[in-house]
Chains A and B, each alone.
Chain A
Amino acid sequence: MAEAKEADRLPDHVDHYESSDQGDFNENEAPGDSHEKILIASDSYEDLNYDDIAVSSFGKPYSGSIIDIVRHNSCSDEKEADASSLNLINESSAESSNEDQNEGQVKDLSADKVPEDVGEGMKLEIRENEDFGPEWRQKKKHLFIFSSAGKPIYSRHGSEDKLVTIMGVMQALVSFVQVSGDNMRCIIAGDHKFIFLNRDQIVLVGVSSAGDSSTQIVLQLSYVYNQIISVLTYTSLHKIFKQRRNYDLRRLLSGAEKFIDNLVNMMDTEPGFLLGAIRCLPLDAPVREMIEQTIVLNAKVKDLVFAVMLANNQLISLVRMKKYFLSAMDLHLIINLVNASESFKTAESWTPICLPKFDSSGFLQAHISYLDENSQTCLLLLSVDREAFFTLSECKNKIQERLLKYNSLRAISDSLATTSYSIQQCGITDLRHFLYKSKSIAQYTSPELEAPYLTPADQERLFGLYHYLHHRIHSPARPLKILYYVGEQETLLGWMTQGFELYTVFGPLVTKTNAIHAINKLLRWIKKEEDQLFILNSVTF
């Protein structure tokens, strides 16, 4: 019955699904799919891991509608061999069969307990640093950066000067392992993971008890490393340490700590970093087109490579030079730059920025300005010409004028007034929240955080659930296509296909069938709204 009703409501352009008995969403019809290259998806998450961790390849990925996949799996439940060749785990997995054996058995992975006793390794080191009390120790995530000569560069909590002994110990471990021709990667001590990322002359160490996986921490460290490159360029970083191995990099990074601080904080709350995808500000397609055209018409100047318009960490439009592409990772750094700085709000700025994926050897010059009085809509014009400030400033004035005239800035602020959209709009009961990433365009969408995820603690827990789901699906040892997981407070369903990644959070009482119906419905809803939620056309000068 329910299926028939759903089928009735199908939007026109997916009419042909009515003929199918379930009204299933075929995974090949990814919403927000585009053949045009808008953003380059960051390095594949799996590749990000240390090169030589083999990603075990399973058989040919099974594709089709989700119902088919699940059915196929249920049939082959007894035949273990078959199931594993499907790259797909439904209820039970070899590594954690105890946690999700069946729907009735529940493990509360979300329990938010602050570890009372800290991991062994941590204790060891802390004894040497009486300065750092229990508060410091209980921080869930630490980040340390030091040079290969052992000079402290950055610490997320506490001053790096006082942490010089801890960093010394870490440095010693790194070089001890290095002597034997190997690489230090990871120490696991109790709840704590210590992840090492050794990049040229600097070492980044992430310590986490928040439950994120090793690969996820490596990803975070890579972002931080790229942030440093963004400030200095790889070339100059390399040169500095080549000249003086024991150089104190803090001298050059002074003033840039806030970018690292802001980046690590954002990574704790913004799913875009985890997904390697950008969130777009929902706008009616004609409005967005109007903005894009305005930029194309008024900023067609020599040497301008990218024009990026942002509001509240969301992308409004991206116009690029024909030959060049912006990668999602670089765009994240641009978003971080804007998000971390108040100073762009006071005046037009002209600042060098290196985009590591674009070109790690040199700077682009960015003209940064806000277009409205409330400092919400930020325009960045990135040029290779260091003298282009006044030309670009003129472009900005023209763009601003025209956008005001056609009320586009108004449309932007209206869209911003509602942080995103409500989950209610999707019209799916029991669905609490979701993340949907279209892989081809490296963009994602998700609804506003609503009850029961209103307090920071609950939001952190939700984010933890997504981390878990993401980790299980992308597990290097055993990647999954679909994961259905029943927790104490919610049920999770993740689905990964060639075209998209979908992570959904349901109430705890949803049944598997209902959840699957719900995501079919959700995908159709996203498909219907794709013009609003995503940028599907690549606009060039």
Chain B
Amino acid sequence: MAQREVKLCLLGDSGVGKSSIVVRFVTDTFRQSLESTIGASFMTKRLNVDGTTYVFQIWDTAGQEKYRSLAPMYYRGSAAAIIVYDVTRETSFQSVKMWIQELKKNGSPNIVLAIAGNKNDLDDLREIDQKDAKEYADQIGAIFVETSALTALNVPELFMSIAKKLPSEDPFGGRTFDRKTINVRRSQAEKSSSSCCGGSQS
């Protein structure tokens, strides 16, 4: 089965639920009081979409202002970025726009952008209308979903739609990775088959 490595990072204000989304996606669990991330943390997760195994290498960055200057380190090599906001906090949506601008300017040109409005379960406290956010996302050509790390709503779907939207021929990460694995396997297979066949036949 084809395998593809996807570097991905999550950006957004502090406390919008970036880590919760990642933890929900990777381990399918939810913790009510997750600590704020320090610096950034790294996790991987495999996901099968249409016969291809995507290995997501996820950089979950810290949202606090003091880590702001580190962000380029994470999004620079990324094939995709998820910008998360909190549907109950207007300011966090304003930050989304700022992140999009920064990514358009400094990110890789083919980067797949996704906007996730998290905490969808807190509908009573909603400050951001789903329609407005969707409109904005369409306008910049980003994937848009509302998620809830608490109820798991749309979390796997978010990553699936990113996988589907990745450029099919990834000239960098994907191909080199494929070749490497194939090479290793092929050489092993060749070796074992040749020695085995040779040995038995001669």
Contact = CB atoms under 8 A, between A and B. Distances in A.
Interface in B76-98: none
A255 interface: yes
B66 interface: yes
Given A252-B66, A253-B66, A347 B38 contact: no
A161 B143 CA distance: 40
A255 B39 contact: no
B116 to A, nearest CB: 19
B14 A254 contact: yes
A255 B40 contact: no
A443 B34 CA distance: 34
A427 B39 CA distance: 47
A466 interface: no
A344 B42 CA distance: 10
B42 A346 contact: no
Contact of B73 (A252, A253, A386): A386
B37 interface: yes
Contacts of A389: 42
Nearest to B39: A351
Interface string B86-114: 00000000000000000000000000000
Nearest to B63: A255
A351 B38 contact: yes
Interface residues of A, number: 26
A350 interface: yes
A349 B42 contact: yes
A160 to B, nearest CB: 18
A256 interface: yes
B41 A346 contact: yes
Contacts of B39: 349-352, 366
Residues of B in contact with A, size category: 20 to 34
B38 A343 contact: yes
Contacts of B41: 343-344, 346-350
A253 B60 CA distance: 20
Contacts of A256: 66
B194 interface: no
A421 B109 CA distance: 60
A342 B65 CA distance: 20
B66 A351 contact: no
A341 B19 CA distance: 14
A285 to B, nearest CB: 34
Contacts of A349: 37-42
B42 A255 contact: no
A254 B65 contact: yes
A350 B42 contact: yes
A343 B42 contact: no
A254 B37 CA distance: 12
Given A352-B70, A387-B73, A344 B38 contact: yes
B23 interface: yes
Nearest to B29: A346
Interface string B12-49: 00100001000100000000001111111111000000
Nearest to B23: A346
A231 B67 CA distance: 10
Contacts of A350: 39-42
Contact of A255 (B14, B60, B70, B73): B14
A252 B14 CA distance: 12
B193 interface: no
Closest 4 CB pairs of A and B: A351-B39, A347-B41, A255-B64, A343-B35
Given A231-B66, A352-B70, 20 more contacts: A232-B66, A251-B65, A252-B65, A254-B14, A254-B65, A254-B66, A255-B38, A255-B62, A255-B66, A341-B38, A344-B38, A344-B41, A347-B41, A347-B60, A349-B40, A349-B42, A350-B40, A350-B42, A351-B62, A352-B67
Interface of A: 231-232, 251-256, 258, 337, 341-344, 346-352, 366, 386-387, 389, 393
11 contacts: A251-B65, A255-B64, A343-B35, A343-B37, A346-B41, A346-B43, A348-B41, A351-B39, A352-B39, A387-B73, A393-B42
